[in-house]
Amino acid sequence: MPVADTSQLISGVAERYASSLFELSLETGSVDKVGADLDRFQALLDESEDLRRLVASPVFSAEDQQKAVIAVAEKAGISGLVANFLKVVAGNRRLFAMPGMIRAFRQIAAEHRGEITAEVTSAHALSQAQENELKSALKGVTGKDVAIVVTIDPSILGGLIVKVGSRQIDTSLRTKLSTLKLALKEVG
């Protein structure tokens, strides 16, 4: 199966699950708590290679994944809807799509609040002042409040890659160096 088909499959699954979770959290008035719990789970995924392996690997049984994810959630203080959600997702062998579900939930929640979401890739963590400055700049461009989701990727060396909807602005040092290298080849 080509990679594009796989990512579309994950995207569709992620959106359906995230949409269901959002509807439930809306009914119970717990959108903010669910969002915070999902952020906490994403932080655990970012920090732990073992957890990423457990989530992504088809080698573990649904039962093993369920037990492990429930234990991780309890230890992290993740309860209620998100704990139950993780249990269902693991039971349905869909844990591999969890990062996509979290992204989709953030997007749905932001749209519900009248915000748009920008995915930002940075070589290093942004300070609160930098985040605020970026939000303000993006609000000036889009005319809407912008929620930002930052991913750290040291391989871009410096600068930022900002994706808002279908638009992407790449000011990364890696891209600038590649462009320069290409220009030098053409000159030589």
List the pLDDT tens digit at each of the 188 positions of the chain.
344 445 555 678 899 999 999 999 999 999 999 999 999 999 899 888 999 999 988 898 999 999 999 999 999 999 999 999 999 999 999 999 999 999 899 889 988 988 888 889 999 888 999 999 999 999 998 888 888 888 888 899 999 999 987 889 999 998 988 888 888 888 76
Which pair of structure tokens corresponds to residue 39?
């952020």
Helix (H) or strand (E) holding 166: none
- Model pTM score: 0.70
Q: How far apart, in whole angstroms, are the C-alpha atoms of residue 83 and residue 77?
A: 9
Which pair of structure tokens corresponds to residue 57?
């690997």
DSSP strand pairing (146-152 vs 160-164): unpaired
